[in-house]
Amino acid sequence: MEQRKKVVVIGEDDEPIARLLRDAINDEPNYQAVIVPDGAVVLETVRQVHADLLILDVMMPGLSGIEVFDRVRADPDVKNMPVLFVSAAIADFERQFKDRKINDVVAKPFDLNDLLAKVHKLCPA
């Protein structure tokens, strides 16, 4: 019987970065990634696909990554799902990260191997 793949939802509106992340994660055995370019749709998608990990950009249309994170943590069905932030503006959001005890943050530009290692750590297949 085939093992269910780990589903990673990527909340990222920068299409080249989103595609790079999706393709790299989909190349990993036992992982399947889905791109959601609008923050307002991320939580709904997470619930629909039964996501195992959420990768969020901080700045997105609809809702910011921080707003999405707050909604995820307030939702009893997905509140324990790991969330990894990927952002070019980490310094601008340090206070929000610290206040929310967000430790899983990767700065853009990122090393793809480092990011994949984080994915494996947060969401082992």
Domain with residue 81: its CATH number is 3.40.50.2300
Per-block mean pLDDT, blocks of 10 residues, the chain (125 long)? 87 96 96 95 95 96 94 95 94 94 94 96 95
Look at residue 75 and tell me if it is in a domain. Answer: yes
The reported pTM is 0.95
Residue 39 in domain: yes
Q: pLDDT at position 89, please?
A: 87
Q: How far is CA 57 from CA 36, 42, 64, 93, 118, in A?
A: 11, 11, 8, 11, 15
> Residue 125 domain-assigned?
no
Assess if residue 70 is contained within a domain.
Answer: yes
Write out the two tokens for 85. 């932030």
DSSP assigned state of 1: -
In sign, the C-alpha dihedral spanning 22, 52, 69, 107 is: negative
Say if 97 falls within a structural domain.
Answer: yes
- Predicted confidence at residue 4, as pLDDT, reads 87
Give the structural domain span for 27.
6-120
Is residue 58 packed enough to be buried (19+ CB in 10 Å), middle (13-18) or exposed (0-12)?
buried
Does any domain span residue 49? yes
> 1 in a domain, yes or no?
no
Q: How many domains does the chain have?
A: 1
> What's the rounded Cα separation, in Å, for the pair 92 and 96?
9
